[in-house]
Amino acid sequence: MNALQWLILTRHGESTGNLAYQAVHGTDAEEAGIPERDADVPLSGTGRAQAAKLGRWLAALPEDERPTLVVSSPYLRALDTAETALARTSYAAPDGLRIRVDERLRDREQGILQDLTALGVKNRFPAEADRLHRLGKFYYRPPGGESWADLALRLRSFYRDLQADAPGGRALVVAHDAIVVMTRYLVEELTEREVMEIEKEPIANASVTRWRHDGSGLAADCYNDCGHLTAAGPAASTGRR
């Protein structure tokens, strides 16, 4: 990603799917009970407020740090976050920045394990739970789904295209927690062990992670930063999905 001046990532605001997983956490539920397909899970009311706060942070950025292009996951919760945030800035649409959608930024696909809790996986697919334990999270691929390594492959393709399309640009990417974590894996050239240790810290909804070109490459500016959210109002949710 050395062709970019700034790379800014944010996770979508809190979604109704986050709330569903929080509601069953610590119980004997085997499913989160999310009625929509993953691509259609919407923001919660808190998520919309978080997206607006993100927008106010974007609006206050110095001119030489403002994004020159915005790319979003096609999933509703991410796209709504991007649209809500940019609507709070003076440099976005209708006459400024447009949001590009790229399917390579979608969330990691869970396959047959979609909507299941850890207990649900253990009870319904014990062989898969054993295989996950044996292979480790990074390389384990659920039937019909993706491993973290698979996610890295599609992100390498996305960032190659992004650099070619916007050399010297300042890119804002609005996506999901797994995208933020694996982007750090790619930018900072981490090992499997390092990135899986980092992944243990949940990426907060509407948090900001940034890298800035320091003359030789992209250098970390902040990771999973929620300062723009906690200045007023409740802290961001860290529920998965």
Which of 112, 42, 109 has its CA nearest to residue 80?
A: 42
Task: Out of 6-10, 119-123, 164-168, pick the least confident.
Answer: 164-168
Region 65-74 average pLDDT: 96
More confident of the two residues 100 and 167: 100
On the question of pLDDT at 25 being above 90, the answer is yes
On the question of pLDDT at 34 being above 90, the answer is yes
Rounded to an integer, what distance in angstroms lies between the CA atom of residue 19 and that of residue 40?
Answer: 15
Rounded to an integer, what distance in angstroms lies between the CA atom of residue 21 and that of residue 25?
Answer: 6
Region 167-183 average pLDDT: 96
On the question of pLDDT at 238 being above 80, the answer is no
On the question of pLDDT at 232 being above 60, the answer is no
Region 51-72 average pLDDT: 96
Q: Is 111 left (phi over 0), alpha (psi -120 to 50) or beta?
A: left
Quote the pLDDT of residue 97: 86
Phi, psi at 22, each rounded to 5°:
-65, -35
Region 191-209 average pLDDT: 97
Rounded to an integer, what distance in angstroms lies between the CA atom of residue 195 and that of residue 234?
Answer: 28
On the question of pLDDT at 168 being above 90, the answer is no
Give me the helices (H) in the chain, please.
Answer: 16-24, 45-59, 76-86, 118-124, 126-135, 148-165, 177-187, 192-198, 227-230
Region 110-135 average pLDDT: 97
Rounded to an integer, what distance in angstroms lies between the CA atom of residue 181 and that of residue 63?
Answer: 27
| 128, 133, 134, 241 from 143: Cα distances, Å | 9, 15, 16, 19
Q: How many CA atoms lie within 13 A of 216 on its CB side?
A: 3
On the question of pLDDT at 239 being above 70, the answer is no
On the question of pLDDT at 104 being above 60, the answer is yes
Region 167-178 average pLDDT: 95
The confidence band for 93, taking pLDDT boundaries of 50, 70 and 90, is low
DSSP-assigned beta bridge partners for residue 11: 175
What angle, 0 to 180 degrees and rounded to 10, lies between the N-to-C axes of helices 177-187 and 148-165? 70
More confident of the two residues 90 and 43: 43
Average pLDDT over the chain reads 94
Portion of the chain with pLDDT greater than 90, in percent: 88
Quote the pLDDT of residue 234: 37
> Tokens representing 95?
């006459």
